[in-house]
């Protein structure tokens, strides 16, 4: 399930990034690359596991769904931290100096 959720997040993020055009003020390209990297990693993992062990290709259960949500939340958290650190006006630096 986490492969499906991550690939859906990658497609949605890429569509939003593409619609915004060249202006990457919110670093959606970085978020998109994080999701596509995770999708590619898990796709390879699923294919290798399916070829060597057999069984189901997609795991659809509660644990897999919770893992998918936690991966998406972690990627969004890393993205927000990236936005705060690289903010051009230095909002985070001013907040820390207080």
d(CA 39, CA 43): 6
User: In terms of residues, how long is the chain?
Assistant: 98
Which pLDDT tens digit goes with each residue over 41-72?
A: 999 999 998 999 988 888 889 999 999 999 99
d(CA 46, CA 48): 6
pTM of the model: 0.83
CA 58 to chain centre: 19
Q: Tokens 């993205």 belong to which residue? A: 79
Burial class, 92, CB count within 10 angstroms (exposed 0-12 / middle 13-18 / buried 19+): middle
């Amino acid at each position: 399930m986490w492969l499906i959720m991550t690939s859906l997040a990658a497609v949605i993020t890429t569509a939003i990034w593409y619609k915004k055009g060249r202006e990457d003020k919110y670093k959606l390209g970085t978020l998109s690359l994080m999701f596509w990297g995770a999708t590619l990693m898990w796709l390879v993992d699923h294919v290798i596991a399916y070829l060597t062990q057999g069984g189901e290709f997609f795991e659809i259960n509660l644990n897999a769904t919770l893992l998918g949500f936690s991966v998406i939340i972690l990627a969004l958290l890393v993205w927000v931290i990236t936005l705060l650190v690289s903010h051009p006006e230095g909002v985070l630096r001013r907040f820390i100096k207080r």
